[in-house]
A and B are shown apart, each in its own frame.
Chain A
Amino acid sequence: MTERNKLMKEIMAYSFAAYDWNLYLNTHPNDRMALMQFRKMTEKAKELKKEYVKRFGPIVAGDATDTQTWTWVSDPWPWNN
């Protein structure tokens, strides 16, 4: 697995964990353990996304800050393998 795919896989894992806590918290809004887990997973996903954007390119269009060229359009797109 390439470095890029490995990092993306980690982003998927932490983002998914954060999202699943989000869904749980919607119906259990006062669960403090869940609130803490949500924060932890979100922070970690944010950190990894920052690293990915710096090394490999934008995840959201707003990440594309290259001053020479518009990198948002570049391959790979998610359905490519």
Chain B
Amino acid sequence: MWSYQKRLQYPINIKNPNPKLASFIVSQYGGPNGEANAALRYLSQRFSMPNDITKATLTDVGTEELAHLEMVGTIIHQLAKNATTTEIENSPMAPYFIDHGRGVYAISAGGNPQKAEEFAVTGDPIADLVEDLAAEQKARAVYDNILRVSDDPDVNDVIKFLREREVVHFQRFGEALDSIQNKPASRNTFYMCKNNR
């Protein structure tokens, strides 16, 4: 289960409204490589993990992704809330605004609503962890793209923090994968275990 702490993982204080940027960054809320998909992916995959290391790593990183979802939502909220209707109308946020106003909705920058298909679960620990390594790199690449189009230092400071976390998660998932791949003689050899056939 979870309990809520009334705080962000990292401080966010954005001074200038910017609907264009909001419509780009929303992709990390509900896009294919976004934080919602990441949280659901890891928290769902952990049920079929074979050892302590993988169970703990997916639980903790999945939980952290929920905190990142809250951070990305906060960025969108703060970028959109003081934007005038005219500013929004003349920005790429206009189509989003018609359906979702200044609210925070799970959608990609290209306009596709969040898809459960994108949070992969195979029930196979190696396939899932390799998927997670790629997922972290894809999310990192999206944050790189956001940094290429954003010149707001208040936003970039937060995006750089989130980007760095993708790198750390990639490292931890690599170690978690090692813990099941490099110990073929231990009881972690799920792929030879009768129960998993």
Q: Which residues of A contact B (CB under 8 A)?
A: 5, 8-9, 11-12, 15-16, 19-20, 22-24, 26-29, 58-61, 72, 77-79, 81
Contacts of A11 in B (CB 8 A): 7
Chain A nearest Cβ from B4, distance in angstroms? 7
Partner of B64, one of A19, A72, A77: A19
| Contact yes or no, A27 B176, CB < 8 A | yes
Q: How many residues of B contact A (CB 8 A)?
A: 28
Which partner residue on chain B sits nearest A24 by CB separation?
B172
Most chain-B CB neighbours within 10 Å: which of A19, A27, A77? A27
| Contact yes or no, A8 B7, CB < 8 A | yes
| Contact yes or no, B10 A78, CB < 8 A | no
| Contact yes or no, B172 A26, CB < 8 A | yes
With contacts A22-B60, A81-B78 taken as known, whether A16 is within 8 angstroms of B7 at the C-beta atoms is: no
- Can you show 17 pairs from A to B with CB atoms below 8 A apart? A11-B7, A15-B9, A16-B9, A23-B60, A23-B172, A24-B172, A26-B56, A26-B60, A26-B172, A27-B175, A27-B176, A59-B6, A60-B4, A60-B6, A78-B74, A79-B70, A81-B12
